[in-house]
Every structure is written in C-alpha cells, then in structure tokens.
C-alpha cells in the first residue's frame, strides 16, 4: 500500500490546466462584481465629503452670526470661523445666507458631485442655494 501511494505521489506535478482555468474564471467573476461596487463606495464617500464640508461651512456661518456678523457671508468672511475646509482654494464659490428661517449655501463644490440624482435633489429650484436641512438629511442617508 505504501509503495502504491509513493508511486501515485510521484506522478502528481501540480494543478491541471482545467483546475487553473476554473480558478481564473472564479477570480474573474469576483473581480467583475467587486470592482464596480468599490467604485461606487469611493464615489459615495467623495459626495459625502462634499456634503460634510458644506455642513461645516454652515456651522461656521452660524458662529459668525453668533459673534454679531450679519449674513450673507462669503468665503473671506467665513475664513476665521471654518476649520477643515480650504476656503482659499482658487475658483471656490461660497455664499451662505439666512432666509425664511433657514440657512442656505451656494457652494461650487456641489458641481463635483458624482451622483447626478443627488445634485438634482439638493437644488430642485436651480437657484444655486441648498438648504441646510437637505444637506443634513442626505448626510443621514435619507
């Protein structure tokens, strides 16, 4: 029995071509599923980062308002009240106003959103301003 086992083991040299092809096909299927999902996760996280920046800017505007400054605010007025957002970036448009009991923001980074449905939902009036409540709802996933 031991001699038979040794003889069989000598003839084994590795994976057969069929086994190797099966492994490659399985890996290809996994990659075809995983790559688009990973891309969506990356795009969603970039969109959420833009929304979080807008929320931080509004929080800075509220601080400026609490310190006695009057809206509307632009990026130069908000520079001392906002941390974590580069308001000195070239071509960046930031305007925050308080109107009808709600804070609104016009933020040029919204143009970089990957999800076109999100762009439409944020600014249904196409006036360039987005309500703070809408941003907060989108950050919560609503």
Domain boundaries, the chain: 46-140
Residues forming beta bridges with residue 74, ordered by sequence position: 95
pTM, entire model:
0.77
| Pure H helices in the chain | 2-11, 17-66, 75-78, 116-122, 132-140
Q: Which of 10-14, 56-60, 80-84 has the lowest mean pLDDT?
A: 10-14
Beta strands 102-107 and 73-74 are unpaired
Q: What is the pLDDT of residue 13?
A: 66
Tens digit of each residue's pLDDT (9 = 90 or more) over 65-92: 999 999 999 999 999 999 999 999 889 9
């Amino acid at each position: 029995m031991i001699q038979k086992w040794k003889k069989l083991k000598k003839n084994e040299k590795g994976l057969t071509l069929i086994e190797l092809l099966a492994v490659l096909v399985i890996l290809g299927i996994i990659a075809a599923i995983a790559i688009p999902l990973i891309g969506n996760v990356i795009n969603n996280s970039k969109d959420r980062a833009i929304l979080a920046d807008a929320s931080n800017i509004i929080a800075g505007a509220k601080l400026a308002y609490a310190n006695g400054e009057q809206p509307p605010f632009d990026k130069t007025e908000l520079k001392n009240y906002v941390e974590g957002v580069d308001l000195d970036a070239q071509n960046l448009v930031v305007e925050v106003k308080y109107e009808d009991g709600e804070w609104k923001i016009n933020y040029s980074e919204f143009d970089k959103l990957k999800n076109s449905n999100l762009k439409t939902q944020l600014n249904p009036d196409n006036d360039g301003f987005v309500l703070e409540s809408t941003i907060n709802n989108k950050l919560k996933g609503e």
